[in-house]
A and B are shown apart, each in its own frame.
Chain A
């Protein structure tokens, strides 16, 4: 089966086995290993990617359904000049990375919250915008597990970056 989609800003086409997950497609077929395999059951959030701007666990997403969609992985956040995204910069500044295994998933889900803040009011009937306070950030990130338990610094980083351009 052939799928074509937008991957980190570029159009791609590939032939896939229809039973594989998006995580398998990314890591094993495309060599994009920034998206981490943790539990492979949708519990840990290490494999979080953005599909059409919303965060999804790649391990539970059938690769065939990426057809026609826009996919952003952690590799897509860095600019061509190698500059880190502001969410990544905030993580570095706050020392929010310990072993690093959960980091790419955390960054992608914080990115999704940032996008909700910017876009929520553009969708008809879906105009509820989540306020970026600590309680809501913790709720938003409840599906991302950090087994170094470095949550405080991760939430500090998210809080700073999400409140930067307050509308």
Chain B
């Protein structure tokens, strides 16, 4: 490997580094769990890696619990998400997605920003972030911010809406509604083995229920089922106004069918398209227990 490395120490140095590389190939390195592997396999002679690991910036590396939102910096690791009380209590889908990603050693360095920017259709934390209807805050070289809904952040397999002069700064999760008394929230990951597995199909759900048992808000994200992670909007809307305690088999089938309309999976070494659809249908039904 013969790439060069720049290690900005703060945000303004980072913006300058990106500015000076506008006409050259560069990659941003955060946790390096995917990037180092990729660099070892490719010609890197003309490449610069912008190393984020030494930047000291709270916005980039902290979880901030606010009244209406939770801000998660792009450099926050999967372990920090797993260990955060606020996220574990109020956004279990994200906590479970982070806890089931790869292994302890990988979670200790892998960042949520990296999981999103890699834009893999099977990204675990990214799938939960979609179900939570989060927004991404992008910053450009002039320090100007742009906020995009996470579903619009993904434009295809491994591509995002990030421009060459921008980077992902943080993720904003909206708080659950005040009327929400109970959350039915989780992350289902189906793979060919338990540990260190890339999802064959994944489903993130975050359903907010008021005191009387009626659903007031719902978010459903599906992974490894389409070119990008998708928000199953019709399936989520279908749940609103229904009572969590009285789901019938008919409701479950209707919901699963609606989820499936968002799936267009490929066949690859890990599973066939047919298998992925069958699994997605069945795990969707299992959400409405």
Return the chain A residue nearest B37 by Cβ.
Answer: A41
The minimal Cβ–Cβ distance linking B214 to chain A, given in whole angstroms, is 31
Per-position 1/0 for A47-70, Cβ under 8 A of B = 010000011110011101101000
Summed over the interface, the residue pairs from A and B with CB atoms below 8 Å come to a total of: 89
> Inside 8 A of B147's CB, which chain A residues have their CB?
none
Per-position 1/0 for A85-108, Cβ under 8 A of B = 000000000000000000000000
The minimal Cβ–Cβ distance linking A28 to chain B, given in whole angstroms, is 14
> Inside 8 A of A32's CB, which chain B residues have their CB?
none
> Is the beta-carbon distance between A45 and B36 smaller than 8 angstroms?
no
> Inside 8 A of B59's CB, which chain A residues have their CB?
none
> Inside 8 A of A72's CB, which chain B residues have their CB?
none
Of B5, B53, B84, the residue contacting A18 (CB under 8 A) is B5
Residue B83 at the A interface, CB < 8 A?
Answer: yes
> Is the beta-carbon distance between A109 and B63 smaller than 8 angstroms?
no
Residue B86 at the A interface, CB < 8 A?
Answer: yes
The minimal Cβ–Cβ distance linking B261 to chain A, given in whole angstroms, is 35
Segment of A75-83, A125-133, A158-166 in the binding face = A125-133
How distant is the Cα of A123 from the Cα of B53 in the complex, in angstroms? 20
Of A18, A56, A61, A109, the residue contacting B4 (CB under 8 A) is A18
> Is the beta-carbon distance between A143 and B51 smaller than 8 angstroms?
no
> Inside 8 A of A120's CB, which chain B residues have their CB?
83
> Is the beta-carbon distance between B108 and A126 smaller than 8 angstroms?
no
Return the chain B residue nearest A62 by Cβ.
Answer: B32
How distant is the Cα of A141 from the Cα of B106 in the complex, in angstroms? 12
How distant is the Cα of A127 from the Cα of B82 in the complex, in angstroms? 10
How distant is the Cα of A139 from the Cα of B32 in the complex, in angstroms? 22
Contact residues of B between 109 and 132, Cβ < 8 Å to A: 109
> Is the beta-carbon distance between B54 and A65 smaller than 8 angstroms?
yes
Per-position 1/0 for B26-67, Cβ under 8 A of A = 000100110011010000100000010110000000010100
Residue A21 at the B interface, CB < 8 A?
Answer: yes
Contact residues of A between 115 and 167, Cβ < 8 Å to B: 120, 123, 125-128, 140-144
Residue A29 at the B interface, CB < 8 A?
Answer: no
> Is the beta-carbon distance between A60 and B36 smaller than 8 angstroms?
yes
How distant is the Cα of A13 from the Cα of B79 in the complex, in angstroms? 29
> Is the beta-carbon distance between B105 and A45 smaller than 8 angstroms?
yes
> Inside 8 A of B108's CB, which chain A residues have their CB?
54-56
How distant is the Cα of A128 from the Cα of B81 in the complex, in angstroms? 11
Tell me how many residues of A have a C-beta within 8 Å of chain B.
Answer: 32
Of A1, A61, A125, A143, the residue contacting B196 (CB under 8 A) is A143
Assuming the A-B contacts A19-B3, A62-B53, are A143 and B105 also in contact, with contact meaning beta carbons closer than 8 angstroms in the complex?
yes
Return the chain A residue nearest B102 by Cβ.
Answer: A143
How distant is the Cα of A125 from the Cα of B80 in the complex, in angstroms? 9
Interface of B is mostly: mixed
> Is the beta-carbon distance between B105 and A128 smaller than 8 angstroms?
no
Residue A25 at the B interface, CB < 8 A?
Answer: no
Per-position 1/0 for B74-112, Cβ under 8 A of A = 000001101111101000000000000011111011000
Residue B160 at the A interface, CB < 8 A?
Answer: no
Per-position 1/0 for B1-32, Cβ under 8 A of A = 11111010000000000000000000001001
How distant is the Cα of A136 from the Cα of B46 in the complex, in angstroms? 45
> Is the beta-carbon distance between A127 and B85 smaller than 8 angstroms?
yes
> Is the beta-carbon distance between A128 and B2 smaller than 8 angstroms?
no
Assuming the A-B contacts A45-B105, A143-B106, are A64 and B5 also in contact, with contact meaning beta carbons closer than 8 angstroms in the complex?
yes
Contact residues of B between 138 and 155, Cβ < 8 Å to A: none
How distant is the Cα of A55 from the Cα of B108 in the complex, in angstroms? 7
> Is the beta-carbon distance between B83 and A143 smaller than 8 angstroms?
no
> Inside 8 A of B102's CB, which chain A residues have their CB?
42, 143
How distant is the Cα of A1 from the Cα of B7 in the complex, in angstroms? 11
> Is the beta-carbon distance between A143 and B32 smaller than 8 angstroms?
no
> Is the beta-carbon distance between B105 and A48 smaller than 8 angstroms?
yes
21 CB-based A-B contacts, threshold 8 Å: A19-B1, A19-B44, A42-B103, A57-B106, A57-B109, A60-B37, A60-B106, A60-B109, A62-B29, A62-B32, A62-B36, A64-B5, A65-B54, A123-B83, A125-B86, A126-B80, A126-B83, A128-B82, A141-B104, A142-B194, A143-B105
The 7 closest A-B pairs by CB, nearest first: A143-B103, A142-B195, A126-B83, A19-B1, A18-B5, A65-B53, A57-B105
